Amino acid sequence: MDWKLAFRAVIYYAAGVLLVMGLLFLPAGTLEYPGGWRMMGLLFVPMLCLMVVLWLKVPELLRKRLSSREKQTAQQKVVKASGLLMALGFLAAPLDFRFGWSQVPGWLTAAGSVGLLVGYGLYAEVMRENAYLSRTVEVQEGQKVVDTGLYGVVRHPMYAATILLFLSVPLVLGSFVSLAFFLGYPAILTARIRNEEQVLEEGLAGYREYKRKVKWRLLPFVW
């Protein structure tokens, strides 16, 4: 077992927990923020389980997921924009709770919680189907086109899963103000997808044929 990778994953995980706790509870001015604790549980419990499974079963994929340095300028801008959007969305929710700007109905919060878990499930399935997944846009040595499972429905199922995750987050946090920020994520993602497909067309054999076979990028009959 790769204990060095495990240590790196633990550090990555702990940093994420501390960062999100700071973004949620410091602006709220209290630890008694139900949406914050709900978010922590729904976000980090599945994440921990997924990281353990990857470490035990496919450590190389975990190593790729922990590598987040984009080489392309266009993608660096997209990553920065999405990171800023996420930070603003996470900050807006506890401020909304603190000052009572909006209130999300309980049934919608429950729906958001289900959506978050479904998004995680789809994300895990995509990783099971595609051993070449990376957090950076690149063509890896020996990479082949995956066109089965979810990849037979849309060309970018991982991004479709992240959209569901992102749009569920503000509902879990109980904030329509936060939702206004997260609604910008799909627009930012389209820029990443267009650039990524250009990279894949130029460097991945068979990708042009795959595009003709699977027409839709994110959502069937929409885009």
pLDDT at position 21: 94
DSSP 152: G
* C-alpha distances out from residue 223 to 16, 190, 218, Å: 32, 10, 6
Which ranges in the chain belong to alpha helices (H)?
Answer: 3-28, 34-57, 59-66, 73-99, 106-129, 157-173, 176-182, 185-203, 207-213
Q: Kindly report, residue by residue over 115-135, the tens digit of the pLDDT.
A: 999 999 998 888 877 766 655
For residue 90, give Cα distances in angstroms to 16, 25, 98, 125.
Answer: 13, 10, 13, 26
CA-nearest of 135, 126, 113, 122 to 62 is: 135
- All residue ranges of the chain with pLDDT < 70 are 67-76, 131-142
Number of domains in the chain: 1
Confirm whether 219 is domain-assigned: no
The predicted structure's pLDDT at residue 131 = 67
What pLDDT score does 139 carry? Answer: 57
The answer to whether position 105 is within a domain reads yes
Note the pLDDT of residue 223.
Answer: 85
pLDDT of residue 11: 94
pLDDT tens digits for range 58-82: 888 788 777 655 555 556 677 788 8
CATH code for position 26: 1.20.120.1630
Q: Does a structural domain hold residue 85? A: yes
Q: CA 172, CA 219: separation in Å to the nearest integer?
A: 23
Nearby residues of 32 by Cβ (< 8 Å), 6 or more positions away: none
Q: Which domain holds residue 206?
A: 3-213
197 within domain boundaries: yes
